[in-house]
A and B are shown apart, each in its own frame.
Chain A
Amino acid sequence: MTLPNSLRAQPDPQGHFGEFGGRYVAETLMPLILDLEREYRAAQADDGFKAELDGLLKHFVGRPSPLYYAEGITKALRKDAPAGKGPKIYFKREDLNHTGAHKINNCIGQILLALRMGKTRIIAETGAGQHGVATATVAARFGLPCTIFMGAVDVARQQPNVFRMKLLGAEVRPVTSGAQTLKDAMNEALRDWVANVHDTFYIIGTAAGPHPYPELVRDFQSVIGIEAKAQILEAEGRLPDLLVAAVGGGSNAIGLFHPFLDEEGVAMLGIEAAGHGMDTDKHAASLNGGQPGILHGNRTYLLQDEDGQITEAHSISAGLDYPGIGPEHSWLHEIGRVKYEGITDREAMDAFQLCCRAEGIIPALESAHAIAGIVRKARDMDENQIVVLNLSGRGDKDIFTVADEMGVKI
């Protein structure tokens, strides 16, 4: 396979990352996503847009997020590793952002686009509720009405986030079709959008969906990797040996990885949710356990049966519980630039507790998957090697799930 000179030049003008991505939407939506693309190109060329975005990221979100030497985890892993093994681990602290995760970076960017386009109503889908809370937050900040679609099953198990969204003025609409989780919430958001194209902007929460969403979400999240690059150069005087991030749809991972894609010495590891194990049908690992197909506006790896019917994903982490993945990850997987491995619910739970005790940080269960990934790799890495791990969110939202898993009543 011939590779382009830069791995950062995707997608092509039609929104394809190799054979992935594209614009697989109903005709009703095509004119709108073409408008969105035009508006995004105009915004990219507008210094005023960038200045407003940067100002909000600094003062409303609290950026830059720290790059923090995770000394506790580094030492804990070296203790269990052979002599001279166990890399130096840094956390990119996206958990310290306003609303507690990386999701807000993207929401700020998209709502500024919505305002540029003169849209007066915001919709979004959410699984665990983190993207819903981030969307409700920016909608409140800019005074736009906001409807969040959330599977009825998720509404029941994520009551604190449902209440947060309502406090922020959003309407939360429970979705009772299908398995009543994230995939169905996205179907219902698309149905609403198609009926309200004239006034409604859909803030998609991950680097997936029809072009230009995968590109623009990646660009808004790339602030993570751009900051991390400057911060690691300042701290260590060199680039890291390995980047690690959890991958559901993949927005936090692509945000960290993308600015480093052309740095040959930097390896990258994306962690998929292996749920009960890759030898079961209860996982959410689209790359390791799925095959290419078309869903929700893009061609990408999907969990599906032989007839192309989409199968249900499973992960202890609601944020990873989705049967697809962003199309750029599918491309990076196929060309081999990024390695993707699965981490089970059990491994993620162990890493969650390790991080709490060794580091004094309660990580999101999504981020705990990434931590488990480096726990697995640490024994084989030299102690003079450097790892940057995206701590994409804080784990306060997950304490009920974790307690339940540990058999503790709270």
Chain B
Amino acid sequence: MSRLAITFARLRTENRAALVAFVTAGDPSPAHTPAILDMIAEAGADVIELGMPFTDPMADGPAIQEANIRALGAGTKTADVLAIAKGFRAKHPDVPLVLMGYANPMLIRGASWFAQALEDAGIDGVICVDVPAEEDAVLGPALREKGVDLVRLATPTTDAARLPAVLEGASGFLYYVSVAGITGLQQAATDSIEAAVAKLRAGTDLPIAVGFGVRTPEQAAAIARVADGVVVGSAIVDALAKASGDPEAARALVSQLADAVRTARVGAEA
């Protein structure tokens, strides 16, 4: 079983959702990221999504675009991202780490090279924004060969007819992008999320994490009642940016998010 599968299975027995926390590797510099990841894990995040910086983050809103620019401006290289992951893995043997980013930096040296590098760094899964199911051949087979989870995205435009194609070859969890749009801007209504998650559940046994536009503990709690995971990115990235990457600036936010997710279902039902 992969670290992601073990973690989601454990949380299911605890009847609670996972907090999936996102930060961009190398923001504001590669030297800052290890302490930020330590803080996030200590503050109670269950899964960490590490953004791999790219010059052209087409699916991201202003907060994460700027994080990418800061990271690249500080000279962050792919080797730094992998070293950060490796360091995290050594200190936190059980916390799943997922790399999120875009196809070009991932595939520039070939999919096999990338999959091997992920294995060496102890990275558990990959979210590649611009490799849809139709183009799986460039990335999916290499990851599956190494046992690295390929986390696919489903969106409000993914209908029931299309869902099986999206799920084919997916593992780890299913990431439901709750709004048609870019990261960090608007949030979908809770009842529409609940309906969407119910439809996805009909098609898969994979855990379902919901993200895009989740900023507050209240929003996170509402989603944690209906989904298996809540992804928060831009709000954490913003909090860190305001403090020039000082991890303590985001500790309270991550703790509150973790508490909200942990207690969301308490008393809701037997």
List of B residues within 8 angstroms of A309 by Cβ: 54-55, 72, 104-105
B168 at the interface (CB under 8 A from A): no
Residue in chain A with minimal CB distance to B185: A195
B142 at the interface (CB under 8 A from A): no
B130 near A310 with CB under 8 A, answer no
A302 at the interface (CB under 8 A from B): yes
- Interface range on chain A (Cβ under 8 Å from partner): 35 or more
Choose one: B132, B166, B182, B185; the contact of A25 (CB below 8 Å). Answer: B132
A307 near B103 with CB under 8 A, answer no
A293 near B108 with CB under 8 A, answer yes
A310 and B55 in contact, given A24-B135, A27-B177, A295-B104 (Cβ under 8 angstroms): yes
Report the Cα distance A307→B152, complex, angstroms. 23
List of A residues within 8 angstroms of B69 by Cβ: 177-178
* Nearest CB on B from A103, distance (A): 23
Segment among B7-15, B83-91, B153-161 that sits at the interface with chain A: B153-161
List of A residues within 8 angstroms of B108 by Cβ: 293, 304, 306-308
List of B residues within 8 angstroms of A306 by Cβ: 108
* 0 or 1 for each of B140-183: is its CB under 8 Å from A? (1 = yes): 00000000000011111111001000100000000001011110
B205 at the interface (CB under 8 A from A): no
A194 and B182 in contact, given A24-B103, A27-B153, A28-B177 (Cβ under 8 angstroms): yes
B59 near A26 with CB under 8 A, answer yes
Choose one: A14, A32, A183; the contact of B157 (CB below 8 Å). Answer: A32
Report the Cα distance A304→B103, complex, angstroms. 13
* Nearest CB on B from A211, distance (A): 9
A27 near B166 with CB under 8 A, answer yes
List of A residues within 8 angstroms of B54 by Cβ: 308-309
Report the Cα distance A15→B213, complex, angstroms. 33
**In residues 40-72 of chain B, which contact A (Cβ within 8 Å)?**
54-59, 61-62, 65, 69, 72
List of B residues within 8 angstroms of A14 by Cβ: 134
B162 near A294 with CB under 8 A, answer no
A92 at the interface (CB under 8 A from B): no
List of A residues within 8 angstroms of B134 by Cβ: 14, 22-23, 30
* 0 or 1 for each of A200-220: is its CB under 8 Å from B? (1 = yes): 000000000000000000000
* Nearest CB on B from A362, distance (A): 34
B181 near A195 with CB under 8 A, answer yes
- Chief secondary structure at chain A's binding surface: mixed
B198 at the interface (CB under 8 A from A): no
Report the Cα distance A22→B162, complex, angstroms. 18
A304 near B104 with CB under 8 A, answer yes
A191 and B104 in contact, given A23-B132, A30-B132, A31-B162 (Cβ under 8 angstroms): no
Report the Cα distance A307→B69, complex, angstroms. 15
Central interface residue in A28, A31, A198, A295, by most chain B CB within 10 Å: A28
A197 and B180 in contact, given A24-B131, A308-B108 (Cβ under 8 angstroms): yes
B129 at the interface (CB under 8 A from A): yes
* Nearest CB on B from A249, distance (A): 15
Choose one: A27, A293, A295, A307; the contact of B158 (CB below 8 Å). Answer: A27
B6 at the interface (CB under 8 A from A): no
Choose one: B56, B61, B181; the contact of A295 (CB below 8 Å). Answer: B56
B154 near A177 with CB under 8 A, answer no
A386 at the interface (CB under 8 A from B): no
List of A residues within 8 angstroms of B182 by Cβ: 191, 194-195
* Nearest CB on A from B231, distance (A): 15
B155 near A28 with CB under 8 A, answer yes
B116 at the interface (CB under 8 A from A): no
B112 at the interface (CB under 8 A from A): no
Report the Cα distance A163→B23, complex, angstroms. 41
B55 near A302 with CB under 8 A, answer no
* Nearest CB on A from B52, distance (A): 10
B162 near A178 with CB under 8 A, answer no
List of B residues within 8 angstroms of A177 by Cβ: 62, 65, 69
A353 at the interface (CB under 8 A from B): no
A288 at the interface (CB under 8 A from B): no
B77 at the interface (CB under 8 A from A): yes
List of A residues within 8 angstroms of B62 by Cβ: 177
Report the Cα distance A184→B60, complex, angstroms. 13
* 0 or 1 for each of A317-329: is its CB under 8 Å from B? (1 = yes): 0000000000000
* Nearest CB on B from A270, distance (A): 23
B105 near A307 with CB under 8 A, answer yes
A26 near B132 with CB under 8 A, answer yes
B107 at the interface (CB under 8 A from A): yes
B78 at the interface (CB under 8 A from A): yes
A25 and B55 in contact, given A294-B104, A308-B107 (Cβ under 8 angstroms): no
Report the Cα distance A191→B57, complex, angstroms. 10
* Nearest CB on B from A312, distance (A): 9
List of A residues within 8 angstroms of B179 by Cβ: 195
Further pairs besides A27-B133, A178-B69: 7, Cβ < 8 Å = A24-B130, A24-B131, A194-B59, A295-B104, A307-B77, A307-B78, A307-B105
Could you jot down 10 A-B contacts, CB within 8 Å?
A23-B134, A27-B166, A183-B56, A187-B57, A191-B61, A194-B59, A194-B180, A294-B107, A308-B104, A308-B106
The 3 nearest A-B residue pairs measured at CB: A308-B108, A195-B181, A308-B105
